[in-house]
Copies of this chain bind each other. A is one copy, B any other.
């Protein structure tokens, strides 16, 4: 049967980009590599971050901003690794913007955490969402996204902006590939319609399979920044 298309147009982003640029400059001067970690709910952001800190934490100092609509469960999990972490509550909003991120960094500074010794790597674990976080430059050097195998290989078609803005795409839960109808070939075809350059790394934050490639990429970025 027939179907039509309705377009309902979006409003413009405020002066977010200016705040983001200032933030990037501030961090650059302190040799801090800052990445914005984005994914759907349950794609494995915190699990990936935990393993990343376990594998790289002895070489490089991490500081983490955990953004959530509510609850502190992720901050508590990261804090247990002995890493400086701050919990940001969005109060219902579905993304972080540059201003909220700046306030997180100010809170770190207020606590004297960043004054003591600047971290090598600053992470924003964004709110679980494939739509809104993609729209906001939070001042990060790189945008890292996770797509988990159970979500399906068609997602680049449905959340195009997220795939367009990401600098690296991590496909998590690869250990469950046999259970789901996930085609790497189809996925890559769909990604390349949106993004020609971002590396795609297949891994499992649970088993560690494929994790080396991600750690190598991150180490390289953090050292070069």
Closest B residue, CB atoms, query A82: B1
Residue contact B91 to A8, C-beta cutoff 8 Å: yes
Contacts of A86 in B (CB 8 A): 3-4, 6
- How many chain A residues sit at the interface, stated as a range, is 35 or more
Task: Assess whether A5 is interfacial by the CB under 8 Å rule.
Answer: yes
Distance from A25 Cβ to chain B, minimum over Cβ atoms (Å): 22
Q: Would you give the 0/1 interface string for A66-95, flagging 1 where the beta carbon is closer than 8 Å to chain B?
A: 001111111100010011111111111110
Closest B residue, CB atoms, query A84: B1
Residue contact A83 to B1, C-beta cutoff 8 Å: yes
Number of copies: 2
Contact of A4 among B94, B111, B135 (CB under 8 A): B111
Q: Would you give the 0/1 interface string for A46-78, flagging 1 where the beta carbon is closer than 8 Å to chain B?
A: 000000000000000000000011111111000
Closest B residue, CB atoms, query A149: B150
Asked whether A154 and B73 contact (CB < 8 A) given A1-B84, A84-B1, the answer is yes
Tell me, in angstroms, the Cα distance from A9 to B90 when the chains sit together: 7
Q: Given A8-B100, A94-B131, output 18 extra A-B contacts at Cβ < 8 Å.
A: A1-B82, A3-B72, A3-B75, A4-B111, A5-B72, A6-B104, A6-B107, A8-B88, A8-B90, A8-B103, A41-B130, A41-B158, A68-B158, A69-B158, A71-B157, A71-B158, A129-B129, A129-B130
